[in-house]
Amino acid sequence: MDAGTGAISGTPNSTGTFSFTAGITDAEGFSASANLSVVVTTSADAWKSPTYGAAVGSDGLSNTTVGPYQNKVSYRFRATHTGAVQQAMIYIIPDKSGYAGGSGGTIQVSINTDDGSDAHNPSGTTLATYYINGAASLPSPQRYFYVMKFVNPPTLNAGQLYHMVFQNIDGEPQTNFISVDALYESSYQSSASAELSDPSAAVLLADSGGPWTPRTGFTPIYQLDFEDGASQGMGYVEAWVGNQQNISGSSPLRETFTVTGSQISVTSAAIRLSRINGENPLTIRFENADGSLIEEGYVPAANIPLSSASSPINAWAIYTFSSAHTLVPGQTYHLVFECSATSTYQAFPLQKGNYYGFQSTTFFPDGEAQVKINGSWTGWSQWGTANRPDDDLQFYMSVAQ
């Protein structure tokens, strides 16, 4: 443990849960201690992506109905914390034609263990159960960002896979049903990114009583709140795909961020965008808060598929730094994306769900996306609100291991 930062580092020799006691004594002689533990998983089961930023790609939202055609849905996730889950929040659609019907049905939601197979489907072991009824009668936004409080909180173990399984047990599921909403990445096959914190996250569908099948490109939107105050999940709730902004000439984009947590070393930077026209490279500038340059590099146009404004194809543009750079806690930095006026790239941000109750552990809390208008940087304008701070470019920086 670093005495100055508190960072725990090193290479573990074996897996398991390792207990230790941490203590502190202040200048007045008062002291306190706590019994803590560190969970070490194998590299194959590692759930933490080695990235800093909003390392998730999305081209919008997509729903999956629960009920018609006897379909069941599972949100697969890997626990990032050991403890009892007090409540869970999910994004549902209980009141829009086509997405929901009738009374909404009775939706049984269970937390199940993983079956341990290569497919990693839900097992028959249920840790907790909750029933959704009458969600459409709740006020907005509670009817959409629905909170389930477990009478018997399930205990999860960090590093293990679990499933949140949705099943409509209504007598007429064809008529009475709801939908669950997830992020959707249409150009998923060309993605080079890991998910924000859980590369095992997936939406699984069992249709007409058939086998479980992953829904390609779907990432579940959810939050688990543990009894000890910890939380995990995916808290990006929308992709502003209808508000693409150009990167061309005097119109750059940037992610500005102030580092929290411990000091980290980054080795590359990436942004998810589309190339609309031209053959000029994308320029990526890594700057200090005052605009002074840390490093500048280029991503060849050929690395990003050529598409059009009406049918954009989004892909990750990645630049590897010439050497690793250290991000210092409390310091502000900018990642600026620009190119020549004879070419055009486009990008759009993801909205953080903090307004709806999602915690900072479920999205990138350190920054925001900005556009340059008439020579001045400002936040995105969306849904009638200008200069919004609740969004991030689809970007990330790789962290040295």
Q: What is the pLDDT of residue 2?
A: 66
Residue with structure tokens 């194959």?
A: 44
358: in domain = yes
pLDDT in tens, 78-93: 999 999 999 999 999 9
pLDDT in tens, 296-345: 999 999 999 999 999 999 999 999 999 999 999 999 999 999 999 999 99
284: in domain = yes
Q: Tell which residue, 225, 205, 240, has the closest CA to residue 60.
A: 240
Domain boundary among 234, 261, 277: 234
Q: What is the pLDDT of residue 172?
A: 95
393: in domain = yes
pLDDT in tens, 259-273: 999 999 999 999 999
On whether both 79 and 219 belong to a single domain, the answer is yes
Q: What is the pLDDT of residue 24?
A: 86
DSSP for 78-89 reads E-SS-EEEEEEE
Dihedral sign from CA coordinates of 195, 208, 97, 358:
negative
Domain boundary among 174, 200, 234: 234
Q: How many residues does the chain have?
A: 401
pLDDT in tens, 216-231: 999 999 999 999 999 9
Domain boundary among 184, 202, 234: 234
Looking from the CA of 15 toward its CB, the CA atoms found within 13 Å total: 9
On whether both 266 and 224 belong to a single domain, the answer is no
On whether both 380 and 249 belong to a single domain, the answer is yes
On whether both 156 and 213 belong to a single domain, the answer is yes
* Tally of domains in the chain: 2
Q: What is the pLDDT of residue 195?
A: 43
On whether both 166 and 251 belong to a single domain, the answer is no
On whether both 124 and 268 belong to a single domain, the answer is no
Sheet-wide strand order for 236-239: 236-239, 349-352, 391-393
Could you tell me the two tokens for 385? 């609100």
On whether both 230 and 319 belong to a single domain, the answer is no
Could you tell me the two tokens for 174? 């064809």
185: in domain = yes
What span, in angstroms and rounded, lies between the C-alpha atoms of 32 and 25? 7
What span, in angstroms and rounded, lies between the C-alpha atoms of 114 and 165? 11
φ and ψ at residue 228, rounded to 5 degrees: -90, 10
Mean pLDDT, range 108-120, rounded to an integer: 96
On whether both 187 and 283 belong to a single domain, the answer is no
On whether both 156 and 230 belong to a single domain, the answer is yes
Residues ≥6 apart with Cβ < 8 Å to 33: 21, 22, 23, 24
On whether both 377 and 287 belong to a single domain, the answer is yes
pLDDT in tens, 5-48: 566 666 554 445 567 788 888 888 888 888 776 655 443 334 34
Helices and strands: H and E segment counts in the chain: 0, 32
Dihedral sign from CA coordinates of 75, 80, 85, 88:
negative
What span, in angstroms and rounded, lies between the C-alpha atoms of 44 and 207? 30
Could you tell me the two tokens for 3? 């005495």
φ and ψ at residue 188, rounded to 5 degrees: -55, -40
pLDDT band of residue 198 (cuts 50, 70, 90) is low
**What is this structure's pTM?**
0.86
Q: How many CB atoms lie within 10 A of CB 386?
A: 9
On whether both 218 and 86 belong to a single domain, the answer is yes
Residue 302: strand, helix, or coil: helix
Q: Tell which residue, 79, 355, 64, 96, has the closest CA to residue 237.
A: 355
Q: Which domain holds residue 133?
A: 51-234
- The domain that holds 193 is classified in CATH as 2.60.120
Q: What's the Cα-to-Cα distance from 291 to each of 163, 206, 288, 334, 335, rounded to whole Å?
A: 45, 52, 5, 8, 10
List 316's β-bridge partners, or say none: 272
On whether both 339 and 208 belong to a single domain, the answer is no
Could you tell me the two tokens for 312? 């954009």
List 349's β-bridge partners, or say none: 393
